[in-house]
Amino acid sequence: MATRKSGPLDAMVGTRIRMLRVDRGMSQATLAKRVCVSPQQLQKYERGTSRIGAGKLSRFAVVLGVSVGELFEAPEGGSFGVHSLVRVLADPGVLRMFQAYARTADPRVRLCLAKLVESIADRAPGPKATVARLDSIGCGERRKLPFQG
């Protein structure tokens, strides 16, 4: 019997499992233990590099509290493309960034954070950027940031 390679549907299901796991505050180790797979195998499922059998898929659904069908649902009006919101939100760094942003109450600081991330993302790869040390700026000094007109 020929071995079947994983495909886009496997990647979509894996991404969905990862999102549901993160949303429920569950670690990879915890979910892996509850569905009776190794953490390494769970990682392969979440990345879409390994196919998930029907029995395991059913077990994931039970543990995550969703129907099997929900593991196959794409976001409303879209697909799980490379630049989709689902793919972006599945990145652990994005979750940390959103959590830090949510803890920030000052709207001016939130705007600065958004502009900082945008400026970093828009920067073309090149020589390593230098970062000013906060302790090198005196208490009475205030530096004008590049995005402040």
Whether this prediction's pTM lies above 0.85 is answered by: no
Structure tokens at 35: 């569905």
Angle between helices 92-103 and 107-122 in degrees, nearest 10: 150
Instruction: Give the integer Cα–Cα distance in Å for 85 and 87.
Output: 5
Q: Is 45 exposed, middle or buried (0-12, 13-18, 19+ CB in 10 A)?
A: buried
Task: Evaluate whether 21 touches 28 at the Cβ level (below 8 Å).
Answer: yes
CATH 1.10.260.40 in the chain: give the residue spans: 8-90
pLDDT band at 87 (very low <50, low <70, confident <90, very high): low
DSSP 55: H
Which has the higher per-residue pLDDT, 137 or 85? 85
C-alpha to C-alpha distance for 1 and 58, rounded to whole angstroms: 24
Superfamily of domain 8-90: lambda repressor-like DNA-binding domains (1.10.260.40)
Q: 92: pLDDT confidence band, cut at 50, 70 and 90?
A: confident
